[in-house]
Amino acid sequence: MARDFQPVSGMETPRFAGIATFMRLPHIRPEEADDVDIGIIGVPWDGGTTNRPGPRHGPRQIRDMSAMTRHKHHVYRFSPFETCNVADLGDTPSNPVDVDDGLRRIETFYKDIVGRGIVPLSAGGDHLVSLPILRAVGEKAPVGMIHFDAHTDLYDGYFEGFKFTHGTPFRRAIEEGVLDPKKTIQIGLRGSAYDFTDREYGEKMGVRLMDMEEAVELGMDGVMQEARALVGDDPTYVSFDIDCIDPAFAPGTGTPEVGGFTTREAQALLRGLRGLNIVGADVVEVSPPFDPSGYTALAGATMMFELLCVMSEAVARRKDA
């Protein structure tokens, strides 16, 4: 069945009109999505948030602001929507009052999606949502990860041993064997710390931790050269916490840290992913209540478009192989 997955053009219907979907794509139910190559998915859940909440509202505002996206990337000069079939697969099930059940619902959703051969591009939600996604993407074999964040999210627990928060997902993913720590790089780390047990764990496991200061010294090309060399051609997940960007550009997030990337630097970093074997990606921690202007969500939607372009090429290469 050949279906038309093109976004609605703003040349035909103005971009403020119509029902909001990611990038104005058709909304396809997961059970009818077998001909979708890349599924854009909202995860409206912030049950792992330890401080200022709100990313549960992220997918809706990102959908709204993603209406600003036009079809073609201005540097690559192609449309990811022509490279492969992309659709909005809606939101995952959510449970705002139970962490375990919330995680279980998200994991079940992604296992179904990945089982259908669909590559997920997700909009969080807080960063704990990356854990159930990685459980699906890394189920058969652990994946590598290029992780943009002010924080490692490698803590063991909060509040006297509570193991599932947005400060712990990648420690759990390593322990569960769905994430390969030796193929993981964390870029843009900064900010004051409670202690350094997160970093000590990462270093012990072989994670490459790159502070913001080092990233600035290397320059964006240098950062991505190292990231590319680390993951090689291996299946790689990309996780983009919006708080890697400076709060001057992206204030709508729960744990802002000054001294971050500009949006222009973030775009340059994501363009450095071109050619990699990307098996999934997310943009998380967009918290609309802290930025009613919507510009944080616009930054998130724009980063999702950058990710989609490099993912669409990766999907096309795997199909040709």
* Contacts to Mn ion by CB under 5 A: 127, 149-151, 153, 241, 243
Sign of the Cα pseudo-torsion (22, 24, 29, 33, in order): negative
Tokens 């780390």: give the residue.
Answer: 189
Report the amino acid identity of residue 43.
Answer: V
Residues with Cβ within 8 Å of 81's Cβ and at least 6 positions away in sequence, in order, are 5, 6, 7, 23, 25, 71, 312
Beta carbon nearer to Mn ion, 241 or 291: 241
* Closest approach of Mn ion to the CB of residue 253, in Å: 8
Beta carbon nearer to Mn ion, 17 or 248: 248
Beta carbon nearer to Mn ion, 118 or 242: 242
Beta carbon nearer to Mn ion, 165 or 312: 165
Beta carbon nearer to Mn ion, 30 or 55: 55
Helix axes 295-320, 263-271, angle to 10 degrees: 10
167 contacts 50 by C-beta, under 8 angstroms: yes
* Closest approach of Mn ion to the CB of residue 242, in Å: 8
282 contacts 148 by C-beta, under 8 angstroms: no
* Closest approach of Mn ion to the CB of residue 213, in Å: 17
Give first-to-last CA distance, the chain, whole Å. Answer: 22
Beta carbon nearer to Mn ion, 126 or 180: 126
- The DSSP-derived string for 16-77 is TSS---GGGPPB--GGG-TT-SEEEEEE---TT-SSS--GGGHHHHHHHHGGG--SS-TTT-
* Closest approach of Mn ion to the CB of residue 247, in Å: 11
DSSP designation for 153: -
CA distances from 312 to 37, 41, 85, 130 (A): 8, 15, 9, 20
* Closest approach of Mn ion to the CB of residue 53, in Å: 14
Report the amino acid identity of residue 110.
Answer: Y
Beta carbon nearer to Mn ion, 84 or 189: 189
Residue 248 to residue 227: CA distance in whole angstroms: 26
Beta carbon nearer to Mn ion, 80 or 247: 247
* Closest approach of Mn ion to the CB of residue 149, in Å: 4
* Closest approach of Mn ion to the CB of residue 19, in Å: 30
* Closest approach of Mn ion to the CB of residue 212, in Å: 12
Residue 102 to residue 60: CA distance in whole angstroms: 18
